[in-house]
Amino acid sequence: AQSVTQLDSHVSVSEGTPVLLRCNYSSSYSPSLFWYVQHPNKGLQLLLKYTSAATLVKGINGFEAEFKKSETSFHLTKPSAHMSDAAEYFCVNRMDSNYQLIWGAGTKLIIKP
Amino acid sequence: NAGVTQTPKFQVLKTGQSMTLQCAQDMNHEYMSWYRQDPGMGLRLIHYSVGAGITDQGEVPNGYNVSRSTTEDFPLRLLLAAPSQTSVYFCASSYGQGSYNEQFFGPGTRLTVL
């Protein structure tokens, strides 16, 4: 069965330092993986998407993620955190059916000045 | 384009009442879905639709009904509200019939059931 595990419920970094948000998945076939972001009291927005074209995926706002099949991971990174990056981030995988997604529990990113 | 719109933004119900959460999109998307978001649990799929006249159940469908009479609208009905349905509800739509394309989300409806 497909699943998604976000390894940290909260991550706190200082402004200007690197960001790492961890996601592990399980899938019985080639996954489609996404990262979405939710800013406080706002809707959700797609950051980036992996669909097997390239293992390193670049997204919006300087974020990128690397698909590592051997580690079943899809970690999200950014070289330098900005205060505006404070939000909740969700790792998402496609389920068996083409019509349903499974969402991780989310990681809250806190940026310290 | 307005994108995905949801009404109301906030709602308080008493146990046993019924109501309809409205969702509309103006992007001619075939795929629409309803999620609920609870603290520490991510989003869970309630129902989805791959086109007008076609709906199916997601992970947590009990207590909810949907219909899709037009491409644009996908209302979610709570039949007999219960405190366990207190949550934030998001409607989403995407191009095509699968879940592999980017989903566009509405602003959400915060529902409290007393």
- pLDDT < 50 stretches in chain B: none
Average pLDDT over residues A101-109: 93
CA of B102 vs chain A CAs: smallest distance (Å): 7
Answer whether B15's CB lies under 8 Å from B104's CB: no
Q: Which one-letter amino acid corresponds to residue A83?
A: M
**Residue position matching structure tokens 């037009």:** B70
Predicted local confidence at residue B39, as pLDDT? 86
The residues, ordered by sequence, that sit 6+ positions from B89 with a Cβ below 8 Å of its Cβ are: B6, B21, B34, B35, B36, B37, B46, B76, B108, B109, B111
**Which of chain B's residues have a Cβ under 8 Å away from the Cβ of A105?**
40-42
Spatial CA neighbour of A74 closest among A39, A26, A13: A26
Residue A39 banded pLDDT, cuts 50, 70, 90: very high
Please state, in angstroms and rounded to a whole number, the distance separating the CA atoms of residues B51 and A20: 38
Query: What's CA A77's distance to the chain center, in Å?
Result: 8
Which amino acid, A56?
L
Q: Which residue has the tokens 């419920």?
A: A9
Which of A32, A46, A99 lies nearest to residue B48, judging by beta carbons?
Answer: A99
pLDDT at A52: 75
